[in-house]
Amino acid sequence: QITLKESGPTLVKPTQTLTLTCTFSGFSLRTSGVGVAWIRQPPGKAPEWLALIYWDDNRRYSPSLKSRVTITKDTSKKQVVLTMTNVDPVDTGTYYCAHSRFIVPSGMAAFDDWGQGTLVTVSS
């Protein structure tokens, strides 16, 4: 059974750096074809894909956030970390990590298992 759980601060001040950790079980990020993504969802709005890291350590980022976001993995700890710099109130939302085994030639994926999400509020 695959599980993912997000952790990190619930409140961050504008201009600060946000660091979120996804701790997973039930799969290995050493397995070919597997990836973990970060996806966020502002209150009442649609999800937005942010970043994806693959089993071979390749990474893809949303162009709109590429300069502010970094995704890394610690395979032995079974964790994936998202760092977002210079946060703004528009970054407020629920942040999800998600697993995929459906990575396609474009480098994107459909996401078959999601964490419960963590609500992050950016406010002074």
Partner 1 sequence: EIVLTQSPGTLSLSPGEGATLSCRASQSVFSSYLAWYQQKPGQAPRLLIYGASTRATGIPDRFSGSGSGTDFILTISRLEPEDFAVYYCQQYGSLPGTFGQGTRLDIK
Q: Least distance to partner 1 from the beta carbon of 95, Å?
A: 11
User: Is residue 8 part of the contact set for partner 1 (CB under 8 A)?
Assistant: no
Dihedral sign, Cα of residue 58, residue 62, residue 63, residue 67 = negative
The amino acid at 114: W
Question: What pairing do the DSSP bridges indicate for beta strands 118-122 and 93-100?
Answer: antiparallel
Tell me: does residue 111 bind partner 1 (CB under 8 A): yes
Distances (CA, A) of 122 to 13, 29, 63, 92: 5, 31, 21, 5
**CB closer to partner 1 out of 16 and 23:** 23
Q: Which of the residues 51 through 110 are near partner 1 (CB under 8 A)?
A: 60, 62-64, 96, 98, 102, 104, 106-110
Give the footprint of partner 1 on this chain (CB under 8 A).
Answer: 45-49, 60, 62-64, 96, 98, 102, 104, 106-117
